[in-house]
Structures are given as structure tokens and as C-alpha cells.
Amino acid sequence: MRILFIGDIVGRSGRAILLDRLPKLIAEWKLDLAIVNGENAAGGFGITEAIYQEFVDAGADAITLGNHAWDQREALVFIERAPRLIRPINYPSGTPGRGAAMIDTRSGKRALVMNVMGRIFMDALDDPFAAVERELSACALGSGADAIVIDMHCEATSEKQAMGYIADGRASLVVGTHTHVPTSDHRILKAGTAFISDVGMTGDYDSVIGMSKEEPLGRFIRKIPQAKFEAASGPATLCALAVETDDATGLATRVGPVRLGGALEQVRPAFWG
């Protein structure tokens, strides 16, 4: 199975490059599954129903969220009628929406997509490791699902790495999101799970993690907020991770970074041409 996980879409420029590139990448790379983290898509804060539908129409099979899941209050309502929108699984019982979804891929296989939020330097949600363990115990890779993807949305690389090792051999991919800077530690762990600490953002890198520079720089220097944060609007870089899995086991066989457009060095997965 060919899986592309696209990192945090930030603001209008991030949306523009996603909508332009994703349909072409699906066709060119013959993708079975395209997953997008959309928690910063609406001006950097949350997601709206209109944006969700744009992403689905462009070919996104699943859209994960994170700590900004409810910044657009409408998300609390429309998530119930948005089956491809996945919020952190470790929100308390009774939170609207779903933390995991079984997705039918283009090749007719089934992929379980999970979103989970860490707790180090983040809101104190329920135990992320226990929440993922329950899902993995209920749905085994290879029999319950042909692929399993976990979006680990958190600050600490240690927490992301721990999730990778805990899920190793039981998930196809554990991908870190949230910190908006792509790391270079992509690899296949010993038991066959692809991993990266942070896939990076899809947005304007002439910014402070996707925000126009003036306000965050002013806050660092003067320690006084002057205005609201606004998403940077320059040319965006699409950051993603490409993963190929074995059809028999669901485990990863190849993994590589993707960086297209914008300011960063351009990288495409060599194994997909």
C-alpha cells in the first residue's frame, strides 16, 4: 500500500498548495491512502466545515486534528457528520467526534487511522498510550486492518519516540505532528513500523512556525502581546512522509520525506520516481 501523510496545513497558503498538489500526487504516485493534518488550516487555528470538504474533494482520505481541534467552534457540531475528520482519541468520554476511523482505500483495502495527543507541555488529556493500546488490541494489523496509521500530536520528541516503540510491529506508521519543523529521523523501526518525530508543516516557512513573524518576534522581545497571531501568507512548502507497506503484513517496507514548493530543499521519494 502507498501512503502519504501530509503535515499540518497552516492557513491560506498551506491550503492552496495542498489543493493544487494533492490531486496530482495521488495520480502520479498511485497513492492508496492520503492523510492530512488539518488542525491549523483555518487561519492557523482549527478547521471549518468548508475547508474540511475542500480537502476531501481534493483527495484527502482522512484529516487529523490536535490541540487546536475546537478553535473554530463549528467543529464541535460538524465533526459528527464528517466521517473522515479525526480528533485526538484521548479526549474525555463524551467529546464529539471520533479518535479513530476505518478508511476504505483506493485499492479496496482498509486502513485504521488514529489521532492521539501527547501530555508533555500540552493540555492534560487522558493517557495517550492507554488509548492507543486499546485500539491496537481491538484491531490487529494484518487481520483487523491492512494498514494502521497513528498521528502522534505533541510537543516532546521523547513522547513521540516512545509511541513509536510501543506501536512498533503493530502499526504501519507512527508520525509526529504539531511542532511544524520537519525532522530527519525518518526510518523503519526494528519490528517494521515507519516513524518520524515530526513530519513538518505545510505552510510558509518564512515565518515563526507558520505565523507572520512580527507579532511572535515582538512578544519574544517585549513580552507584551500587540495583536493576534496571523498565518503567514507567502509561498508554502508541502511537507509529508511517503510510506510503502507490505500487502501481506501491513508493515512498512520503504519510507521517505517529501518537501515540495516554497523555501525548503526539495525532496521526493526516490522509490516512487
* Catalytic site positions: 68
C-alpha cell at 66: 490536535
Cα–Cα distance between 39 and 106 in angstroms, integer? Answer: 24
Helix (H, G, I), strand (E, B) or coil at 216: helix
C-alpha cell at 96: 464529539
Cα–Cα distance between 130 and 150 in angstroms, integer? Answer: 14
- Find how far residue 236's CA is from the centre of its chain: 17
Q: Are 117 and 153 in contact (CB under 8 A)?
A: yes
DSSP 85-112: EE--TTSPTT-SS-SEEEEE-TTS-EEE
Q: Are 10 and 203 in contact (CB under 8 A)?
A: yes
Q: Are 62 and 36 in contact (CB under 8 A)?
A: yes
Question: Residue 218's CB: how many other CB atoms inside 10 A?
Answer: 14
Would you say how long the chain is, in residues?
A: 273
Cα–Cα distance between 162 and 165 in angstroms, integer? Answer: 5
